[in-house]
Amino acid sequence: MNRSARFRALLKKPPFVCMGAHDAVTAMLAEQAGAPAIYISGFAASAILAGQPDVGVLTQTEMFEHIRRICRVTTVPVFADADTGYGGLLDVQRTIRLWEEAGASVLHLEDQAVPKKCGHFAGKQLVSKEEMQQKLRAMLDARTDPDFFVVARTDAIAVTGLADALDRLEAYAAAGADGLYADAPESVDQMHEIVRRLKPLGKPILFNMARSGKSPYLSLAQVHDIGFDYALCPIEPMFAMHKAVKEMMETFMREGCATNAVADRLTSFDDFNSFVGLDRAIARESKYAAK
């Protein structure tokens, strides 16, 4: 069973979470911690690769390489943000082919207009419902792995309201989307209405657990009780990294640039080399070395 088929198998036994990973190390940590799937956020990629906010600064090929690096070091299914598909109808077809080539098993395509923004930022603009349907049909036609999972995302809640968001998702389901995702619901009441309207469509419904955004802070069990099938924990690992490294560096500089001052914050050299597979690399090399 390939990774895409394994993702679809996860959807048959909800709930589960796709843990955010912003680089190869955090992807390996997520899998080691037991995450059943990994999520690659465009918000995180923009920050890690470019040091920029999530306002559409990354190119299609930059994101492709980022996804490929993470897929190389993991075995669980990878869900990768595809933003707006990076252009028009032919561009979205290239996007899904590249995401498949990189090793991803899932993507979400959003209905924002260019330049896109993080779903929890102000000032978003939308393409028409009809244009998004065209993009979805084009993307699905370009899919080569029948198990690759395409999620339709709408950002309409913050722009035109919940009713329009739900009308859009119903249209996207009719266009063939495999899963549905209304980004940034602002209350539990809105979440219940999303489930009430969308559940009869028979498409898995996604919730974004991002703690820094506009949505309620709920556990996976609470989200599932409302009726969502699975969730993203997209950027919390990056925020944890930022806080930990910031505090370590500030302490190091304040305490006279002494590593003794931060020793209790550091993974040991041996433990880290074990984590990244030094022993395995040496064993592989010795197999071919002259004797």
For the chain, the domains span 3-235, 242-288
Query: Are 75 and 88 within 8 A, CB to CB?
Result: no
Entry pTM? 0.95
Asked if 110 is an active-site residue, the reply is yes
Q: What is the mean pLDDT of the chain?
A: 95
Active-site entry in 8, 23, 39, 172: 39
Active-site entry in 31, 81, 155, 178: 81
Q: What is the pLDDT of residue 14?
A: 97
Beta strands in the chain (DSSP E): 16-20, 37-40, 78-81, 106-110, 149-154, 179-182, 205-208, 230-233
Active-site entry in 23, 31, 110, 147: 110
Please provide the CATH number assigned to the domain covering 3-235.
3.20.20.60
Asked if 81 is an active-site residue, the reply is yes
Active-site entry in 153, 172, 181, 229: 153
Active-site entry in 71, 155, 168, 208: 208
pLDDT tens profile 38-72: 999 999 999 999 999 988 899 999 999 999 999 99
pLDDT tens profile 212-266: 778 999 999 999 999 999 999 999 999 999 999 999 999 999 999 999 999 999 9
Asked if 236 is an active-site residue, the reply is no
Asked if 186 is an active-site residue, the reply is yes
Asked if 39 is an active-site residue, the reply is yes
- In this prediction, what percent of the chain has a pLDDT beyond 90? 91
Active-site entry in 31, 83, 155, 178: 83
Q: What is the pLDDT of residue 55?
A: 87
Active-site entry in 3, 108, 120, 168: 108
Q: Read off the pLDDT band of 289 (50, 70, 90).
A: confident
119: pLDDT strictly greater than 60 = no
pLDDT tens profile 151-185: 999 999 999 999 999 999 999 999 999 999 999 99
Structure tokens at 271: 């433990």
CB-based contacts of 37: which residues, under 8 Å, 6+ apart?
A: 7, 10, 16, 17, 18, 19, 76, 77, 78, 79, 105, 106
Q: In whole angstroms, what is the distance from residue 195 CA to residue 188 CA?
A: 11
Q: In whole angstroms, what is the distance from residue 223 CA to residue 156 CA?
A: 21
Asked if 118 is an active-site residue, the reply is yes
